[in-house]
Amino acid sequence: MTTIKRVLWLLVISLLILPLLAWGGDRPFMIKGIRPVAMGGAFTAIADDANAYFYNPAGLTQIQKWQVQIANLPVTISADTLDLYNWVNDNRTQLEKFDEQTHDTQVKLMNDITDRVSRFKVHVSGSILNPNFISSPIALSNNLKLNFGIGLFSLYDAHIGINAGLLVPNITMIGNVDAAGLAPLAFKMEKTPFDLPGSLSLAGTIKILNRGSIEELRKSVLEFEEFEPKVQRGKGVGLDFGSLYQLNEQWNFGLLVADIFGTPITYDEATSNNIKKPETTAIINPRVNFGVAFRPQNFYFWKNKFIPLSRHFVFAADVTDITNPAEKLFGATFFKKLHLGAEYQTRLLSFRGGFNSGYPSFGLGLNLWLIKLDYAFSGEELGLYAGQIDEWNHMVSLSIGF
């Protein structure tokens, strides 16, 4: 098989192996819920559903009736992945019979790979099942209530980069496949310390993580005939802390400290393509997120004239990864950390929108009691600052629970 033909067929093969990969060596274990994604990622001070497991466990105290999620099946596909699929499909005949094509056709295909295909950000992620339970409040005293939860979660998150190279193209594959058990415990004080107005919730989540990691950087296509990437397996135990201050029925303030002490992941030794990857330990660094949420009660259209909103609307703002020394809060990276969102919710339909690190997002939700169907479209920043390296993703989700 010629080098050129290897390159062209590799585009087809990459679409088949995407579900086995995920991005990043030691990324935080974070399942981005479709509702927060549609709201620009602003959810720390809302956290009033199963997304609280990852966005702020203290939000569990807002849940008044026990909840069971039997299955949650989200899938995220980047717009570039769809473009790559369409490109391969449109050029299938020329790819299958590349050696029989005219010189001009061969040159056109190669130029397409160099100028267009190599710029695609191929990304697919998703979860399988994610069953979880959230309790109703348990009164421990006149002032103290307890909510708890337990859940099993999975995540695959796949990125493949196609690089032009100096002489022949090369492929970058980096990824994780995660499975974890999470157990949050949340306490709500109806009367806060120092007699502050409102209520205060504090929570902690212990998580046991099993991770499979792949990291193959700039592998020449000449290596792929005998290439067998190996998953390096790791384990770790981490702890998240969350708090939620509810000033009144309108204002919430939330704080999340994820992986509060740093979560070590110990990897077993693995051999990939005759290259030994030694046993090692890596750290998932702590992250601090702060958010505020506002639920207007009335819409005033004249003096003392208003329409009651019955908590249909919520507006939120988050600042994430506040303490990251590589991305200073007050600098060029600030707008990457900023997330703004809004939602209008009825019993049947939800309409969502926002800005995620400067990129717009929007989504729709359909609630059919036991079944929920949701869609979101959002921009994601892959670089250090907003506007540097954008990625656009479609996300769909099916949830079954009560």
- Is the model more confident about 30 or about 102? 30
Q: Which residue has the tokens 């890596």?
A: 282
Read out DSSP for 20-35? G--S-SS-------HH
Could you give the CA distance from residue 251 to residue 304 in angstroms, rounded to a whole number?
22
Q: pLDDT band for position 209 (50/70/90)? A: very high
- Per-residue confidence (pLDDT) for residue 15, from 0 to 100: 40
**Residue 349 burial (CB count, 10 A):** 11
Distance of CA 277 to the CA centre of its chain: 28
Residue 203 has pLDDT above 60, yes or no: yes
Could you give the CA distance from residue 293 to residue 291 in angstroms, rounded to a whole number?
7
- Per-residue confidence (pLDDT) for residue 115, from 0 to 100: 79
Could you give the CA distance from residue 318 to residue 353 in angstroms, rounded to a whole number?
14
Range from 125-134, 180-189, 297-306, 381-390 carrying the lowest mean pLDDT: 297-306
Nearest to 52 by CA among 60, 40, 61, 41: 60
Q: pLDDT band for position 22 (50/70/90)? A: very low
What are 137-173's pLDDT values in tens digits?
Answer: 999 999 999 999 999 999 999 888 766 665 556 777 7
- Is the model more confident about 56 or about 312? 56
Range from 44-48, 205-209, 289-293, 306-310 carrying the lowest mean pLDDT: 306-310
Nearest to 214 by CA among 77, 30, 76, 26: 26
pLDDT over 90 for what percent of the chain? 59
What is the pLDDT of the chain when averaged over all its residues?
A: 86
What are 61-96's pLDDT values in tens digits?
Answer: 999 999 999 999 999 999 999 998 898 888 888 877
- Per-residue confidence (pLDDT) for residue 16, from 0 to 100: 39
